[in-house]
Amino acid sequence: MTVRRRPQAREVYWAFGCGLSAVIALACATFGTFLDIHLVARAQLYCLGDLGSGEKFAGTGWAPSRIVIFPAVSVLSALGAQSFHLLARLPWPAGRVWPGVLLLALTVAGSVAGPVAMTVYDLAGEGTPGDCVLPWWPSWLPS
């Protein structure tokens, strides 16, 4: 007969942190990809006006590459953010509450940092061709 024990609070916290990073990576990989493509398309429409067939055809090569690359960046960012979560398993912060909460917040921020940085990069690089400067409050975003 095998004796089973109840999971300890540390193990539940560990599973919650890993699961939270996985949920963030999945959400960024799906919703973030389409938000990135949509924001870049709206910025190009604002800067270039009505897109002709050449610009539309060029965009069809860029968007599928982001459908492949953006989920990879989301997963790698979440995996890299797990290093903060691993610090919570060290002996000193393991018994205290505030380092665990701080490290969990850093894990969440690290999981989101990669997709946000990629969206900003795509918006600045691909979405604003030439000398186009987007307005401070983006009137080109849907309201």
Give the pLDDT score at 1: 63
Give the pLDDT score at 84: 82
Q: What is the DSSP string of 91-126?
A: HHHHT-SHHHHHHHHHHHHHHHHHHHHHHHHHHHHT
**Per-residue confidence of the chain (143 residues) as pLDDT tens digits?**
677 777 666 666 667 777 888 888 899 889 999 999 888 888 877 777 766 656 666 666 778 888 899 999 999 998 888 888 777 777 776 666 677 778 888 888 988 999 999 998 888 888 777 777 777 655 655 54
CA distances from 111 to 22, 94, 143 (A): 9, 21, 27
Give the pLDDT score at 56: 62
Give the pLDDT score at 53: 58
pTM (two decimals): 0.75
